[in-house]
Chains A and B, each alone.
Chain A
């Protein structure tokens, strides 16, 4: 097991992603941040507060649970649902930034796009992730990446955030994951 990103790297990555989001969208007027539970939701809050510091105003931030849209529901035991909280102004015509912790097969993001389609029609959808570990199974890419982390499929990537785990770190573990 090795530390792929210590706390200081995570903090820098969040600062950089926040700036990149503002640069790409020409400010914070049109953007809505949606975190994918569990850890993506916390990352979204951090990016939102970072953007608020830079811009001097709050941006709408919410969460989007994608469980009911997953394509692997039949292959796993039933799982609980996390809350979906859409900001009051909705997503219609907004630039929605989806935020997740680890970007892997791309299936979570596919499910997220389906889930978004049921809520409204954003102007654009962009994707920000803390770690991109590769091995895409779908034609989906990230717009903002904290760190590109080359991995093998046998490794597992664990993101710990202080809100939930008491510490900020990204770990790369060598153990074989249970095959999908």
Chain B
């Protein structure tokens, strides 16, 4: 593995090895000294060309716990706001000798484009590209579900996971559907028809428009943020109606199974897709998701950067010869 661009590229074994590595990394985060020398001398660039708080900070914390040097690059206040192209930005970063670029961009496919461009030698990690994918978010969600409901080991065989809300604009939903189904979970998408993407019937998930009917079956309930900033059209009549049919509230909380967990990738629109009462309830693992995000990102950085893929292929060639 050199890049992490999408869940689609990831095999079942690779996904499990990331989760297992994250399990060990979590131990470091709980220990007295939250620092490992593993990536000393490596430079990692956080190239965030779209707003983000938790993903950027999470990657930064993960890289620093592994002793890598982190350079933060945001669109605002940089040469990008003067109109510099992604190509020129990438060439600049390459010239500074970066080992990995973590990219968030509003264009779907930008991470893939950067990884396969001739002027980028380092690893590329996708931290969200448009409405395409957000692989580390899906990995941390799978890690959280596994920790709470599957004893912290193995895959997610037989788990029922509901993903509710704005699936259309959600790269988190797409990555999660691919990963959770790859790991053996049954995924149901619950949303109004206007917030489901074209071609959703080809996804490895079932679709439902009736939230109340699905809730009692679910082991994990993942609420999505209504992405108003991407909505240039009318997708539902009023916020109140949306909250009524697809929001998580006190009444729906009582329909949930005893041990089921409530998740949200953040940031939340409290009162729209989830009430404050549900977000802060004992069933909610939303804050823990953030914590697990650091462990999962440490695992990804370790697996991509600690070894040398060039030497690995040279050794393989020698063994095969």
Contacts and interface: CB of A to CB of B under 8 A. Distances in A.
A119 interface: yes
Given A65-B24, A84-B27, A119 B32 contact: yes
Interface stretch (B80-88, B256-264, B301-309): B301-309
A76 B318 CA distance: 13
Interface stretch (A1-9, A15-23, A66-74, A157-165): A66-74
A53 B311 CA distance: 47
Contacts of A120: 32
Given A76-B308, A77-B311, A68 B31 contact: no
Given A118-B33, A178-B318, A178-B319, A77 B24 contact: no
A75 B17 contact: no
A68 B302 contact: yes
Contacts of B35: 118
- The 7 A-B pairs with the shortest beta carbon distances in the complex, nearest first, are A77-B312, A78-B307, A81-B24, A118-B33, A77-B307, A68-B38, A73-B306
A24 interface: no
A67 to B, nearest CB: 8
Contacts of A74: 306-308, 311
Nearest to A114: B37
A83 B152 CA distance: 13
A75 B311 contact: yes
A84 B36 CA distance: 14
A78 B32 contact: no
A75 to B, nearest CB: 6
A77 B313 CA distance: 8
Interface in A18-73: 65, 68-69, 73
B31 A77 contact: no
Contacts of A83: 24
A76 B27 contact: no
Given A74-B306, A77-B308, 6 more contacts: A68-B28, A68-B302, A69-B37, A118-B36, A120-B32, A178-B315
Nearest to B22: A81
Contacts of B32: 118-120
A82 B17 CA distance: 11
B281 to A, nearest CB: 31
Nearest to B36: A68
15 contacts: A68-B28, A68-B36, A69-B37, A69-B38, A74-B311, A75-B308, A76-B312, A77-B312, A78-B306, A81-B20, A81-B25, A82-B24, A114-B37, A118-B36, A119-B33
Contacts of B307: 73-74, 76-79
Contacts of B17: 80
A68 to B, nearest CB: 5
Contacts of A82: 24
B249 interface: no
Given A84-B24, A118-B33, A178-B319, A78 B38 contact: no
B123 to A, nearest CB: 11
A118 B33 CA distance: 6
Contacts of A68: 28, 36-38, 66, 302, 306
